[in-house]
Structure 1
Amino acid sequence: MALWRIRATVDDRPGYLSVLTASLALKSVNILAVQVHTTEAGAVDDFLVDAPDALTEADLLGAVARGRGRDAFVARAEAEGLADQPTRALALAGRLVHDPDALGEALVALLDAAEVRWRPDPLPGRPGYDDSRMMLADPAGGSYEVLRSRPSFTPAEYARAQALVEVAGTMVRRHQEQTALLLPDGAELTLRTATGDDLDGVRGLHERASAASLHSRYLGGGAPSDARLRRLLEPAGGRTLLAVDGDGTVVAMANLLAEGDLGEIAVLVEDRWQRRGLGTALARRLLAWAGKGRFAALVAHTGADNVAMLRTLRRVGEGPAERDGAMVSVTLPVPGRESIGDSAPVAS
């Protein structure tokens, strides 16, 4: 038996796919996988089949024609084709998360392209495709031209390629968001947006933090579970920043959690890095990022005895503070938005 790839167009009408598959079955062709691409010309059926060794390309083309298929394409396939297209696309997306520069190679693998050409110039027009050529914008700058003589590109393939481009673009933007931070004492750290891959590093930060630091960050609660840490790393509608030293160790974490048009911020700094301006730098960056979005103000809840955090909030911005027993809530107006409440000094 031999693996073949067969693609053919049939009328998008009830029963036509079954006519084609029945014609293949008469040749003892076993269909291992099938995808249907909807196009203006009809339904494009893409098969991966196992056929008897004696069958030739001409035999398979004849079976397709007898099954009312047209514009047929038949070619030998490799064992890698046994992976269905959704699984294949997800695997390639996972690769781009770790290596967004591999977008060109991922497009070749996704589309079985003959060639992918990269150009430094942006697209002269909008992204799009025709039968043998697909044009895509490179999120890092420039453009990709994807070439394949046969079979013709379909809308579904173009949509998958665009999805991979968006994944790569997201990762490129995250990498670009990395900035170097030089602290007043001369120490240098890297600030960047957190991802789900940072769970181990953030867990280590919590394990090294003192009980007092954890108490201040979580208002009396202990270190959070892994499930909660995952939610903090990639908060819906918010953002988490990490400070990383030269060895790749996470030494601080700042969270902005969305609550409607308000955002709640909190900071955890490893003990040996405290009182060095790191918490202030992280909070200022979260406030600046909030100004680009829909947030009207940021709120920070801290203990009334947490002098270091209250001092940090005073440095970041002037806003009203409300005390409720042992807890103080400080509201920081977002730059460019109307202030909320009357300005009042932050208690210390």
Structure 2
Amino acid sequence: MDIHARLSPAAALSCEVCGLMPEPPKARLTLANVAMMLPIELLVHALVVGTHLPYLAKVLVLTVTATVLVIWVAEPSASRVLRSWLHAPALRHRRRLAAAPALWRARTMLRDEPGALQRVTAALAGLDANILSIHVHPVPSGVLDEFVLSAPGDIGERQLVAALQEAGGISSQAWPTTSLAMADGQTRALSLAARIAGAPEELPLAVAELLRARILTPAEAHQGTPDAGTHLKIPTAWHGPITFARPGEPFTPAESARAHRLAELAETVAHRNTACVPPPN
């Protein structure tokens, strides 16, 4: 976030659609209007009272002049000159939200050599990003490290990816995430295995949830050339081959193995359930 956007109330609080500022607190707005109107009222009274106009004329001139000056001068001036003070509570709340830590999921490919992970952790520490969990996927060209990070609110995807790349990472990516990402792959796979044991027909949905992937229809699976490693096909005897897609995020061997084991579990449970069904009389 740009520093001027943090310091300017108009830039920080204006609606992106209509451009209007939020309504300031009534107490602050009242005090601001009084502060701007009081000098105007005193000046108008001093000028009009000293004239030789009739009493009713003085009252009329004071009323009309003060009203016009308040509408055209006092209120706009209060909103402009005292803008920071009027919107101080909203600005403080906005800055607290902007500074609050955000959760990210990041992936980067590293060479399988000493010090590679240390360089990555040092680069992330330079952004005040805290590594909450890490999972290492062995791949043919090295290792694919998957992180769950807690980073300051003003750190975005671009800064995280740049830090990973500068530390020696390859094909680095980052996505905003939630606390659900704290459940590691093994825990998530075991939870889904328990779900499949009770309902083997939910295998496609369980694997899609495990891999954070989309289930492709047979027509989609046969269309075009899949991006390298981003399509995963699981053969099943009773579902037929099921294809999953995750654009921009290739599947790792560990993820493929977990998905295939879940498919084997679903088939075993389905076969056992079928064998237990008594034949019709």
TM-score range, shorter chain: 0.5 to 0.7
Question: Aligned residue for 2:260?
Answer: 162
Question: Aligned residue for 1:135?
Answer: 233
Question: Aligned residue for 2:160?
Answer: 60
Q: Does 1:28 align with 2:112?
A: no
Contact kept in structure 2, 1:29 and 1:51, CA below 8 Å: yes
Q: Which has the higher helix share?
A: 2
> What SS does structure 1 have at the residue aligned with 2:127?
coil
Please report how far the alpha carbon of residue 73 of structure 1 lies from its aligned counterpart in structure 2 after TM superposition. Answer: 1.1
Which one scores higher on RCO, CA 8 angstroms, separation ≥ 6? 2
Cα deviation digits, residues 35-93 of structure 1 (max 9, x gap): 11111121110001111100011110111112111101111112211111111110000
Q: Does 1:71 align with 2:171?
A: yes
Q: Does 1:106 align with 2:206?
A: yes
Separation in 2 of the partners of 1:83 and 1:164? 18
1:272-287 to 2 correspondences below 5 Å: none
- Structure number, greater radius of gyration: 2
Separation in 1 of the partners of 2:228 and 2:267? 23
> What SS does structure 2 have at the residue aligned with 1:177?
helix
C-alpha RMSD of the superposition: 2.1
Separation in 1 of the partners of 2:272 and 2:107? 39
Please report how far the alpha carbon of residue 180 of structure 1 lies from its aligned counterpart in structure 2 after TM superposition. Answer: 2.2
Q: Does 1:3 align with 2:106?
A: no
Structure 1 unaligned segments of length 5 or more: list them: 183-187, 189-348
Question: Aligned residue for 1:84?
Answer: 184
Question: Aligned residue for 2:216?
Answer: 117
After the TM superposition, which segments of 4 or more aligned residues of structure 1 sit over 3 Å from their partners?
A: none
1:245-324 to 2 correspondences below 5 Å: none
Q: For residues 139 and 130 of structure 1, do their structure 2 counterparts lie closer, same or farther at Cα, with a shift above 3 Å needed?
A: farther
When the two structures are superposed, what TM-score results if normalisation uses the length of structure 1?
Answer: 0.48
Contact kept in structure 2, 1:118 and 1:143, CA below 8 Å: no
Structure 2 unaligned segments of length 5 or more: list them: 1-100
Contact kept in structure 2, 1:118 and 1:142, CA below 8 Å: no
Separation in 2 of the partners of 1:118 and 1:97? 24
Separation in 2 of the partners of 1:84 and 1:51? 19
Separation in 2 of the partners of 1:181 and 1:132? 44
Letter aligned with residue 91 of structure 1: S
- Percent identity, aligned pairs only? 32
Letter aligned with residue 6 of structure 1: A
